[in-house]
Amino acid sequence: MKIAIVCYPTFGGSGVVATELGIALANRGHEVHFVTYRQPVRLGLLNNNIYFHEVHVPEYPLFHYQPYELALSSKLVDTIKLYGIDLLHVHYAIPHAYAGYMAKKMLEEEEIYVPMITTLHGTDITLVGKHPFYKPAVTFSINQSDVVTSVSENLKQRTLESFDIRKEIEVVPNFIDKRKYETAYTDCQRSLMAEDNEKIVTHISNFRKVKRIPDVIKVFYKIQKKIPAKLIMVGEGPEKERAEMLCDSLGISNKVIFLGNSNEIDRILCFSDLFLLPSESESFGLAALEAMMNKVPVISSNTGGIPEVNLDGITGYLSDVGDVEEMAENAIAILGDEKTLEQFKQNAVDSALRFDIQKVLPLYEKLYESAFKGRFDKTI
């Protein structure tokens, strides 16, 4: 099939999932066209089956806000016509499902019928999407999608609770490619980051408020009082400066390494012993899954879809949002005993295999096929 994928090209989870999905589809022989405002960060080299079409938004001084949706829907129309695209898959409802719907309608004027799959990722529903200023448009564009998927059962339920949805929502979880890890680094180079006797604790995110970055620091502060350890903070975002200041005031700056955004996530996780994800809300927690696949147990909050990924007492531990005391106790219980740590590491990787791409990709392909077969239904 010829598939157009719309996503955010940044380090956010939805963009990562969309990119990895596109690469996997291309490897299965599909022709994949990414349509977005920059080449997605995980895309790497383009190949015979992968194309990238940049959406340009011309600046005009009259506009206080530049109309990205307009430029995106126009680019979609052009790309779909030029390449004979069979199907459109938009990741993150805002504004992609809205722009996708407009493109569909424009194409219908020319008797071109392209089904649209919308994948809900989290904040497009839980944070931004349900804001009254966006809600009618988000509800409309979800209902107008030919297929709607959500990355966890929890996100599906939250969508149904918050919006008047008339469509069936299919749960297709996020995924990970186990084959990528079979050839992963053998020399983890942990000595670059910590002394032999130190444990390495890691957090990766976009440093937004929802990630509760101060909790990460507070949990680590308690850990390092009992166990020699380093904290590696990966990512960029609005909370980063405050985090650096908190480390300073707690006197642990020499034990915390801020790395910024990285394309070497697997390399960092390879030498990590524990992953912290104390988020306020999380529809899935892709970063936790990536950690688990790298044999890193997870200490997390029990919010949203995280319990579908991190299994309490098996792959790590779950606590109520903000319960830094319990999170630190659980972390110390895992890190403080080598046998326990080894068991949790093994459980983490075993459990991550539930989300191997070989299991998840066919779910998307099946939905694509049924949407493609039914593409004329709503237009008759």
State the residues that interact with ligand GMT by CB under 6 A.
12-15, 17, 92, 121-123, 126, 151, 174, 205-206, 210, 281-286
Residue with smaller CB distance to ligand GMT, 139 or 303? 303
Give the torsion sign (CA, 261, 267, 269, 273).
negative
Angle formed at CA 260 by CA 263 and CA 206, multiple of 5 degrees: 90
Min. distance of Cβ 49 from ligand GMT in angstroms? 23
- Distance (Å, whole) CA 274 – CA 298: 6
Residue with smaller CB distance to ligand GMT, 287 or 324? 287
- Distance (Å, whole) CA 98 – CA 103: 9
Residue with smaller CB distance to ligand GMT, 198 or 266? 266
Min. distance of Cβ 178 from ligand GMT in angstroms? 18
Residue with smaller CB distance to ligand GMT, 224 or 303? 303
Residue with smaller CB distance to ligand GMT, 174 or 294? 174
- Distance (Å, whole) CA 296 – CA 266: 11
Min. distance of Cβ 198 from ligand GMT in angstroms? 27
Min. distance of Cβ 14 from ligand GMT in angstroms? 3
Q: Token digits for 301?
A: 């909050």
Q: Which residue has the tokens 């939805």?
A: 14
Residue with smaller CB distance to ligand GMT, 50 or 286? 286
| Contact predicate 19/46, CB 8 Å | no
Residue with smaller CB distance to ligand GMT, 36 or 123? 123
Min. distance of Cβ 237 from ligand GMT in angstroms? 9
The DSSP 8-state label assigned to residue 312 in this structure reads B
Q: Which residue has the tokens 């049924």?
A: 370
Which positions ≥6 away from 214 have C-beta within 8 Å?
239, 242, 243, 246
Min. distance of Cβ 346 from ligand GMT in angstroms? 23
255-285: b (≥16 Cβ within 10 Å) or e:
bbbbeeeeeebebbbbbbbbbbbbbbbbbbb
Report H helices in the chain: 13-27, 68-83, 93-108, 123-126, 135-143, 153-162, 178-182, 213-226, 240-250, 265-270, 286-293, 306-309, 324-335, 338-352, 357-373
Q: At what angle do helices 93-108 and 68-83 cross, to 10 degrees?
A: 50
Min. distance of Cβ 235 from ligand GMT in angstroms? 9
Query: Which residues are bridge partners to 89 per DSSP?
Result: 5, 117
Residue with smaller CB distance to ligand GMT, 205 or 272? 205
Min. distance of Cβ 225 from ligand GMT in angstroms? 29
| Contact predicate 291/298, CB 8 Å | yes
Min. distance of Cβ 151 from ligand GMT in angstroms? 4
End-to-end Cα spacing for the chain: 23
Residue with smaller CB distance to ligand GMT, 10 or 74? 10
Residue with smaller CB distance to ligand GMT, 85 or 306? 306
Min. distance of Cβ 46 from ligand GMT in angstroms? 22
Closest to 97 in 3D by CA, of 138, 125, 58: 138
